[in-house]
Amino acid sequence: MKILISYYLQISFLSLIMINHFIEIYLCRRQIKHYKNNESQVPENFSSFISLEDHQKAIRYSSTKLLFLQFKLLFDACLLIYWFPLRGAQHLYSWFNFEGIHHEALFLICFSLIQYALGLPWSIFSTFVIEEKFGFNKTTPSLFLKDQSKGLLLGAVFLIPLLYLILYLYNTFSQSWWMISFAVMTGFQFFLLSIYPTWIAPLFNKFSPLESEELSQGINTLVEKAGFKAKEIFIMDASKRSSHGNAYFTGFGKNKRVVFFDTLLKQLSHKEILAILAHELGHMKLKHIPKSMIASIIFSFIGFWLMGQLANNPWFYQGHFFKSQTAGILIFLFSQAIPLYLFWISPIGSWISRKREFEADAYAAEQTDSQDLIIALLKLYQQNSSPVITDKWYSRFYHSHPPALDRIKHLDSLKTKTSEGLP
């Protein structure tokens, strides 16, 4: 009976690898087709702001990225088939001959390094060929090398001790290891999120306070209403890597901050900067980061509980093409195989994120003129060569931000409401 379960699980898992990647490639193709069908003219609502030339450049740029993504997805699918059904991961595991937890740790570290090395040519191509071709790339090869080395070093400093700790807990506490590991992991996530804005991000970029005489009055009014401090608003030197623009809100407690890319600031008028700032403060005021943290803690608890339940079930290992049953393989399966099952609920995450963008827009429309936010958003689309059109299924699956038209219509409706409310 148990053999039958693992046999069915093997077939289901192999099908899952293929179906997931097939769906992802299908969605890419839908998006490219949607672009093709709409490339001859700028959509009505945008024609006064976006030129046909810019619209077509955005479509060419996005279609190129999607074509590249399809090759990457095919490559990833082949790789998964190698690691699982062709038992590449089992061979890698059996290849070492170390004692106890060193064997488990080395297997996971080696696997991560191989995955990293295999991903490197793709990111080199994306940065130095695609981004370069469309005039966005500002990264030099030496900066790229520095970034990669810092990333690897950070990964080693934080993740190797964490890995050893979890392996130690697994070996020491036979029943409650998953609960203790969950607590350790939650603590680690809090620690990482709290040091990210002040310690980790500055290793890659320079952050300077946003100082402007003319802006300061507007900023002070906005931040006071949101319970924020003006000294928590920063400019980041994003222009050293690329000419793409953005702004974001990060951290919590004392370490929270709003960050503007220098590339974006150059494009915006003062009123538009305030509108974007109001949007980011909206994320803070509406507690979007703590809400995401609570959701991630709940998910992590379910994940560790499931690990505890499945740890001693041979069919779980055999069903994913492993003959050994160890802590290292359990961690491997939860980091590499389980995400494939979670692919099906990823649109829910995108939907929540889009809903939060609407909420932050509504907050910004209350605090500033929504017309300024509309113009700032259009400038952002233009600067990043993002098409203002999208296939609805592609967007539902992947987009963390609502489609341009929906967002602008929403802001327009808020504008009408506000003006109706005036005497």
Interface contacts to Zn ion, rule CB under 5 A:
357, 360
Long-range Cβ contact pairs of 241-247 (< 8 A, separation 24 or more): 241/137, 241/138, 241/139, 241/143, 242/131, 242/136, 242/137, 242/138, 242/139, 243/135, 243/136, 243/138, 243/383, 244/136, 244/383, 244/384, 245/380, 245/383, 245/384, 246/380, 246/384, 247/276, 247/277, 247/280
Q: Tell the smallest beta-carbon distance from residue 357 to Zn ion (Å).
A: 5
The nearer residue to Zn ion, 166 or 226, going by C-beta atoms, is: 226
Q: Tell the smallest beta-carbon distance from residue 276 to Zn ion (Å).
A: 9
Q: Tell the smallest beta-carbon distance from residue 285 to Zn ion (Å).
A: 12
The nearer residue to Zn ion, 131 or 357, going by C-beta atoms, is: 357
Calpha distance 246→259 (Å, rounded): 9
The nearer residue to Zn ion, 360 or 404, going by C-beta atoms, is: 360
Is residue 402 helix, strand or coil?
coil
Q: Tell the smallest beta-carbon distance from residue 400 to Zn ion (Å).
A: 9
| CA nearest to 377, candidates 405, 353, 349 | 405
Calpha distance 69→394 (Å, rounded): 13
89: number of Cβ within 10 Å: 22
370: number of Cβ within 10 Å: 25
Is residue 45 helix, strand or coil?
helix
The nearer residue to Zn ion, 333 or 360, going by C-beta atoms, is: 360
Q: Tell the smallest beta-carbon distance from residue 247 to Zn ion (Å).
A: 8
Residue with tokens 């906005």: 222
Calpha distance 314→9 (Å, rounded): 12
CB 279 within 8 A of CB 363: yes
The nearer residue to Zn ion, 69 or 289, going by C-beta atoms, is: 289
Q: Tell the smallest beta-carbon distance from residue 360 to Zn ion (Å).
A: 5
The nearer residue to Zn ion, 76 or 359, going by C-beta atoms, is: 359
The nearer residue to Zn ion, 201 or 360, going by C-beta atoms, is: 360
The nearer residue to Zn ion, 17 or 284, going by C-beta atoms, is: 284
| CA nearest to 128, candidates 145, 116, 153 | 145
Distances (CA, A) of 50 to 172, 268, 277, 343, 364: 62, 16, 24, 35, 23
Residue with tokens 């030129």: 51
Q: Tell the smallest beta-carbon distance from residue 326 to Zn ion (Å).
A: 43
Q: Tell the smallest beta-carbon distance from residue 279 to Zn ion (Å).
A: 6
Show the DSSP H helices in 126-140 as ranges. 132-133
The nearer residue to Zn ion, 105 or 376, going by C-beta atoms, is: 376
